[in-house]
Amino acid sequence: MNKNVKSFLVTFVGLILTILGFVLVKGADSTKGILATLPYICIAIGCGTWGHGMGTLLRNRAFKGDPALEKKMEIERLDERNIMIANAAKAKGFDIMIYVFGALMLTLSLMNKDLNTILLVVFAYLFVIGYSIYYRIKFDKIL
């Protein structure tokens, strides 16, 4: 499938999902439970999909007349120094996230919030930590 056709399709699906979400928000006043969140899920997924498709379309259009620029950008993207910088930024983001999650858990518990909310944050925190430990062990074996 052509790159532009695929990007148009992704953009169209995102736009339809976003519009569907807004229509459901306006029309569904008496829904409860999971159906009450469905419009917002459609809007979120639709906006993300639409943005991704539009970004790809704009990138393809920018590179259409200049293959040298496309090759230069690809080399820049795959440059080892840039990859190292991106990985270091992710590591710093993870380091601060650990403290933010801890502060959020403490704050929610001191505010006497619902136990389900606190447990949801705790399980997300433990999942991230477990994921980190798993890959730390995996990479220690490889490297």
Q: Rounded to an integer, what distance in angstroms lies between the CA atom of residue 52 and that of residue 11?
A: 7
Q: What global pTM score does this model have?
A: 0.61
CA distance 62 to 46: 24
Q: What percent of the chain has pLDDT over 70?
A: 97
Q: pLDDT digit string (tens) for 73-98?
A: 888 888 899 899 999 999 999 999 99
Measured between alpha carbons, how far is 38 from 31 in angstroms, rounded to an integer? Answer: 10
30 pLDDT tier (thresholds 50, 70, 90): low
Q: Above 90 in pLDDT, residue 131?
A: yes
Q: Rounded CA gap, 81 and 128, in Å? A: 27
* 61: exposed, middle or buried (Cβ count in 10 Å: 0-12, 13-18, 19+): exposed
Nearest in space to 3 (alpha carbons), one of 69, 58, 72, 50: 58
